[in-house]
């Protein structure tokens, strides 16, 4: 009798897991992984060492809520599972003028926070309607969740030498989102690291933000940090090293051999504003706040605000 009960319980876990996976894919997520919700003890020690070295720069929020960041049961009491979802954002087309200031590809379309949060809420609603009363929370890079660690645990990829999540056969141009639930599900197995002896991302980074051994990023030197997170003037030590990036940076992804497998996304919300890709250097230098509000109305570029983007463009102009 006990054997039959255990069998039925395991069968229900698999059924619920597959039900969620199918709905997540229907909602447009490209890949779905499941991990057991438990404290990230090893990751907590690495995070503490990273913070102690000051690699987070002026991002003080990275040091806040340390216990929440490393233990999902503090975010959702009684948490049993972490569902990790991947959404492709690789564009069909890139900026047309190679001499124009560059945007990281993730910022071409609408702000992913809003797009993915809406899908996550729909998925959570589906779970409650089809499985039962489940306590859970949605996360899209807006709360203390170590998303790449959870993606790795959920078998969606490995953490590359550039510290980004890389999925075999797909690359790294993906957004990550998470659902933390008090619902037990079947966990996926992690996969091994496939970076091997490759050092392309390390050697290509113009600001030497990636450590010589890889797997460690000094965010305070990263172009993405300098052009987005840093609110002060960009330090002069980075003059001549920005390689024309005005918002974010894709260098370590562009040189990664795994991104030869990248395929264009199928999310209409991530399509760029029709005027964006054709902008020439003069268009950027003469950018007005009115044009900024029109082109980047729903874009993540609004995070740096008009003044921040103009600061970045001014810094690039000095390089030129």
What residues does 171 pair with on adjacent strands?
A: 167
pLDDT at 320: 59
Q: Which of 294-312 are b and which e, b meaning 16 or more Cβ less than 10 Å from the residue's Cβ?
A: ebbeebbbbebebebbbbb
Rounded (5°) CA angle 139-19-264: 60
Query: How much is the average pLDDT of 164-177?
Result: 98
Residue 283 catalytic? no
Asked whether the predicted pLDDT for residue 7 surpasses 60, the reply is no
Domain layout of the chain by residue ranges: 1-320
Catalytic residue (one of 141, 182, 193, 283): 141
Q: What is the mean pLDDT of the chain?
A: 93
Asked whether the predicted pLDDT for residue 265 surpasses 70, the reply is yes
pLDDT in tens, 104-150: 999 999 999 999 999 999 999 999 999 999 999 999 986 678 999 99
pLDDT at 56: 78
pLDDT at 3: 42
pTM over 0.95: no
The tokens 């109305």 sit on which residue? Answer: 297
pLDDT at 6: 55
Query: How much is the average pLDDT of 275-304?
Result: 96
User: How sure is the predictor about 44, in pLDDT bands with cuts at 50, 70 and 90?
Assistant: confident
What number of other Cβ atoms are within 10 A of residue 236's Cβ?
Answer: 9
Instruction: Give the residue, 304 or 44, on which the prediction is more confident.
Output: 304
pLDDT in tens, 55-77: 777 777 776 777 778 899 999 99
Name the 3-class secondary structure at 180.
strand
pLDDT at 168: 97
In what helix (H) or strand (E) does residue 193 lie, and over which residues does it extend?
A: none
Q: How far is 73 from 63, CA to CA, in rounded Å?
A: 19
User: How sure is the predictor about 99, in pLDDT bands with cuts at 50, 70 and 90?
Assistant: very high
Query: How much is the average pLDDT of 297-306?
Result: 95
Percent of the chain at pLDDT > 90 equals 84
């Amino acid at each position: 009798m006990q054997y039959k009960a255990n069998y039925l319980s395991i069968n229900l876990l698999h059924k619920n897991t597959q039900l969620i996976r199918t709905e997540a894919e229907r909602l447009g997520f490209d890949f779905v992984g499941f991990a057991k919700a438990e404290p990230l003890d090893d990751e907590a020690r690495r995070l503490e060492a990273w913070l102690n070295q000051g690699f987070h720069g002026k991002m003080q929020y990275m040091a806040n809520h340390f216990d929440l960041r490393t233990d999902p049961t503090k975010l959702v009491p009684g948490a049993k599972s972490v569902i990790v979802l991947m959404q492709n954002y690789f564009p069909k087309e890139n900026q047309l003028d190679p001499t124009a200031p560059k945007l990281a590809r993730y910022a071409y379309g609408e702000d992913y926070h809003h797009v993915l949060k809406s899908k996550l809420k729909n998925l959570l609603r589906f779970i409650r309607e089809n499985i039962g009363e489940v306590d859970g929370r949605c996360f899209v890079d807006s709360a203390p969740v170590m998303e790449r660690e959870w993606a790795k645990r959920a078998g969606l990829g490995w953490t590359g030498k550039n510290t980004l999540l890389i999925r075999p056969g797909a690359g790294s141009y993906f957004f990550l989102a998470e659902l933390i639930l008090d619902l037990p599900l079947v966990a996926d197995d992690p996969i091994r690291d496939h970076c091997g002896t490759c050092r392309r991302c390390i050697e290509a980074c113009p600001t030497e933000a990636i450590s010589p051994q890889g797997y460690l990023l000094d965010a305070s030197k990263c172009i993405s940090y300098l052009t987005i997170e840093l609110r002060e003037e960009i330090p002069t030590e980075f003059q001549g090293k920005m390689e024309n990036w005005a918002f974010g940076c894709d260098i370590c992804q562009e040189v990664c051999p795994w991104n030869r497998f990248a395929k264009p996304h199928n999310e209409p919300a991530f399509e760029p504003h029709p005027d964006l890709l054709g902008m020439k250097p003069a268009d950027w230098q003469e950018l007005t706040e009115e044009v900024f509000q029109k082109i980047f109305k729903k874009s993540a570029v609004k995070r740096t605000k008009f003044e921040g983007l103009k600061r970045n463009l001014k810094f690039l102009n000095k390089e030129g």
